[in-house]
Amino acid sequence: MALFGALFLALLAGAQAEIPGCKIRITSTALELVKQEGLRFLEQELETITIPDLRGREGQFYYNISEVKVMELQLTSSELHFQPEQELMLQINNGSLGLRFRRQLLYWFFYDGGYINASAEGVSIHTALQLSRDPTGRMKVSNVSCQASVSRMHAAFGGTFKKVYEFLSMFITSGMRFLLNQQICPVLYHAGTVLLNSLLDTVPVRSAVDELVGIDYSLLKDPVASASSLDMEFRGAFFPLADSNWSLRNRAVEPQLPEEERMVYVAFSEFFFDSAMESYFQAGALKLSLVGAKVPHDLDMLLRATYFGNIVLLSPAVIDSPLKLELRVTAPPRCTIKPSGTTISVTASVTIALVPPNQPEVKLSSMTMDARLSAKMALRGKVLRTQLDLRRFRIYSNQSALESLALIPLQAPLKTMLQIGVMPMLNERTWRGVQIPLPEGIDFVREVVTNHAGFLTIGADLHFAKGLREVIEKNRPANTRNPQAPSAPPPSMAAV
């Protein structure tokens, strides 16, 4: 009985789980590129390490080591890989640090000072970033675990008290190595929880697409890491800005990401595109009205000839009035994705009327239009673009079959009018596209679109259009310039 209850609860939870409209997979193939850019950033961060002054006394010798600065960092052996349970692991072995510091020595009344170079060798860093979903649906670095150590240090002392420094070098370098060990992990913790999170803050979560609709890219759950990839599931739903609480129920097929050859894969379900079209429908954008000179001249003459019998019965003041052609989508368009291609089905009403000045318009006819558009998707940079083409077109009357037959001569000119006058306006908007959830400074290149039953996938490679440092500096919070800020863990917990 208990087993049946547990099974029922599991099925209920699965039934209530929200289906993602968009998925992104980052594969291990991308990690080499990410590692190269990340190590450059890490080197720059570690060069900001500040080491406290080191003072001491051995017998009658008083020494002071100050103004310690990291001048050079060499990370000769490193590995970046995914770790199951939402972790990204970075391991650095046998690295080295070049240091420069000021020395001061007092022995009775004798004083010696100057600057000297030193090196820290056998630098080992093991750090893991835990990724999770925050309450707003944004991906965040929620925790950074770190172990860091420096196995040995060497300082080339010189000057008057060279022999004395060589005697004291064990005390001085041991103290500096201890202090350096204590500083590495707080810097990495700050870089992960503050600086990398400022980069993730550039990923759009819930933002406006244009003046009418917005897009919701909230994460539905924590990212899931395997040994070879990191998968993220996004709501991927549009909404009208005038009613931000409106939502469309997702009944589409869940997109799948079976491949891992390219650096990154993005999948969009039919729901992603359906929610866009329904949002524009709810916003009242799917209508077009052409009046007077905006109606193509040949079409104007043909429409007047077709409805000549209706027009001649009108008063002379109305007969020569401007013609009005109105198209209004009557139901939200629907997207169908098949391996053979993507189509958009549209049903609209077509109203033809005369518009006499300062008088109510006179309706001549109303008909229904069914159209099928082909849609080709492309990913440019981080923008998903769509190119539409009118494939099938049919008009018919809701009144009688006889009137539908009379409309056959209008099929070709109305289709031409749509192709010449309407489709360019649609494509101007759809080609502007919508941004996908990707951080600033990172773009997709060499993309390949593949259609499946109910969803499409785009495989691509990553390209850093901007350096990681450039983007982080641009978005760095003003009060987090100091890596020793309270956000860093105590050194004793961070370093080993």
Task: Establish if 106 belongs to a structural domain.
Answer: yes
Rounded Cα distance, 428 and 388, in Å = 10
Instruction: Indicate the pLDDT class of residue 35, thresholds 50, 70 and 90.
Output: confident
CATH number reported for the structural domain that contains residue 330 in this entry: 3.15.20.10
280 shares its domain with 386:
yes
Q: What is the pLDDT of residue 482?
A: 53
Determine the structural domain holding residue 34 and report its residue range.
Answer: 28-203
CATH number reported for the structural domain that contains residue 85 in this entry: 3.15.10.10
Q: What is the pLDDT of residue 403?
A: 66
Instruction: Indicate the pLDDT class of residue 8, thresholds 50, 70 and 90.
Output: very low
pTM of structure = 0.83
- Nearest one of 264, 261, 179 to 484, comparing CA atoms: 179
Q: What is the pLDDT of residues 98-148, one digit of tens each?
A: 877 787 777 676 776 777 777 788 888 888 999 999 999 999 998 898 888
Instruction: Indicate the pLDDT class of residue 93, thresholds 50, 70 and 90.
Output: confident
Rounded Cα distance, 236 and 230, in Å = 18
Which amino acid makes up residue 315? Answer: S
173 shares its domain with 188:
yes
Q: What is the pLDDT of residues 458-494, one digit of tens each?
A: 999 998 888 888 888 887 776 655 555 445 554 544 4
Q: What is the pLDDT of residue 212?
A: 93
Of the candidates 141, 176, 203, which is a domain's last residue? 203
232 shares its domain with 322:
yes
Task: Establish if 484 belongs to a structural domain.
Answer: no
Task: Establish if 303 belongs to a structural domain.
Answer: yes
Q: What is the pLDDT of residue 75?
A: 76
63 shares its domain with 98:
yes
Instruction: Indicate the pLDDT class of residue 161, thresholds 50, 70 and 90.
Output: low
330 shares its domain with 404:
yes
169 shares its domain with 280:
no
Task: Establish if 52 belongs to a structural domain.
Answer: yes
Average pLDDT over residues 361-374: 87
Q: What is the pLDDT of residue 263?
A: 92
Q: How many domains does the chain have?
A: 2
Rounded Cα distance, 136 and 186, in Å = 27
Which carries the bigger pLDDT value, residue 391 or residue 320? Answer: 391
242 pLDDT more than 60? yes
Task: Establish if 85 belongs to a structural domain.
Answer: yes
Q: What is the pLDDT of residues 187-217, one digit of tens each?
A: 888 888 888 899 899 998 999 999 999 999 9
Q: What is the pLDDT of residues 410-435, one digit of tens each?
A: 778 788 878 887 888 889 999 999 99
452 pLDDT more than 70? yes
Average pLDDT over residues 322-350: 92
Asked whether 156 and 172 are in contact (CB, 8 A), the reply is: no
Of the ranges 195-204, 216-225, 264-273, 394-403, which one carries the lowest mean pLDDT score? Answer: 394-403
316 pLDDT more than 50? yes
Task: Establish if 367 belongs to a structural domain.
Answer: yes
238 shares its domain with 372:
yes
Q: What is the pLDDT of residue 102?
A: 80
Average pLDDT over the chain reads 82
167 shares its domain with 235:
no
Of the ranges 20-29, 218-227, 260-269, 468-477, which one carries the lowest mean pLDDT score? Answer: 468-477
